[in-house]
Amino acid sequence: MRRAARVSAWMLAAIVVVPLVLAALVVAIANTDGGRRGLERALAKASGGRVVMEGLAGRFPDRLRVARIEMRDRDGTWAEASDLVLDWSPSRLLRLQAQVARFELGRLALHRPPVSEEKPAAPRGKGSTRLPVRVEIDSLHIAALELAPPIAGAASTVEVRARAHLVSASQFDLALGVDRVDAPGRYRLEGSARASRFALQLDLSEPAGGLLAGLAGLPDLGAV
C-alpha cells in the first residue's frame, strides 16, 4: 500500500511539475532573440502564411512589442500593422478574464476587406450572448488607422482611442473616440448596459462627404 501511495504521489507530482517546467522553458526560450525569431516562423507556418510577424520584442508573454504584422489571403496583403504594444495579464485567463492594460498600434492600414475562404456557418438557434471570457481593455490607441477606398469609399486616416469592459450583450461598458487626421471629423460613442438598463451617447461632427458617408456608401450625404 505504501509503495502504491508513493508511486501515486510521484505520478501526481510529475503531472503538476512537468507542465510547469515546460511552460518555464517556453517562456525562457521566447525571451531570447533566437526564440523570438522561432516564434515568428512558427506563426507564419501555423497560419499557412496568412499572418507574418517581424520584430518580436519585449517580454514574453505579458509585455509584447512587434515591429510589423502583415495579414494575407489568397489575393495578397489586405492589412498591415506596425509598432504594436501589448501589455496584458495572461494569468487572468485562468479566471476567464482577458485583461489588457494597454494595446497600441502606431499604424494600421486596411487595404481592402479580406477574402472569405470559409463556408457559411449553419444558422444557430437562440442561445446565450455571454462571452466565453470577460474582456477588459483599459486603453486602446491606434495613432493612424488608414482606410483605403475599398473600405471607406475614399482614402481616410483617423486616430482611434477606446476602452471596453465586456461580459455579454446585456452587460458592458465602452467608450470610443475617433478623430480624422487628414480632414475634419470627430466621433464619440459611449455606451453601457446593466441587466435591463441600457445607455448610449453619440456625439459626432463631419462635413459633407465625410467618413460616415463613405462607410455607408452615401456620397451625397450632407454635413452631420
Mean pLDDT of the chain: 83
Q: Are 54 and 31 within 8 A, CB to CB?
A: no
pLDDT over 50 at 83, yes or no: yes
Higher-pLDDT residue of 129, 152 = 152
pLDDT over 70 at 99, yes or no: yes
pLDDT over 80 at 125, yes or no: no
Strand partners, 14: none
pLDDT over 70 at 126, yes or no: no
Instruction: Give the percent of the chain with pLDDT over 90.
Output: 52
Q: Are 39 and 58 within 8 A, CB to CB?
A: no
Higher-pLDDT residue of 146, 130 = 146
Q: What is the pLDDT of residue 8?
A: 42
All three cell numbers of 40, joined, read 515568428
Q: How far apart are CA 97 and CA 165, in angstroms?
A: 10
Higher-pLDDT residue of 118, 58 = 58
Q: What is the pLDDT of residue 219?
A: 75
Q: How far apart are CA 57 and CA 90, in angstroms?
A: 17
- How do residues 26-62 score in pLDDT, each as one tens digit? 677 778 888 889 989 998 999 999 999 999 999 888 8
Q: Quick check: pTM over 0.85? A: no
pLDDT over 60 at 136, yes or no: yes
- How do residues 148-176 score in pLDDT, each as one tens digit? 999 998 899 999 999 999 888 788 999 99
Q: Are 148 and 110 within 8 A, CB to CB?
A: yes
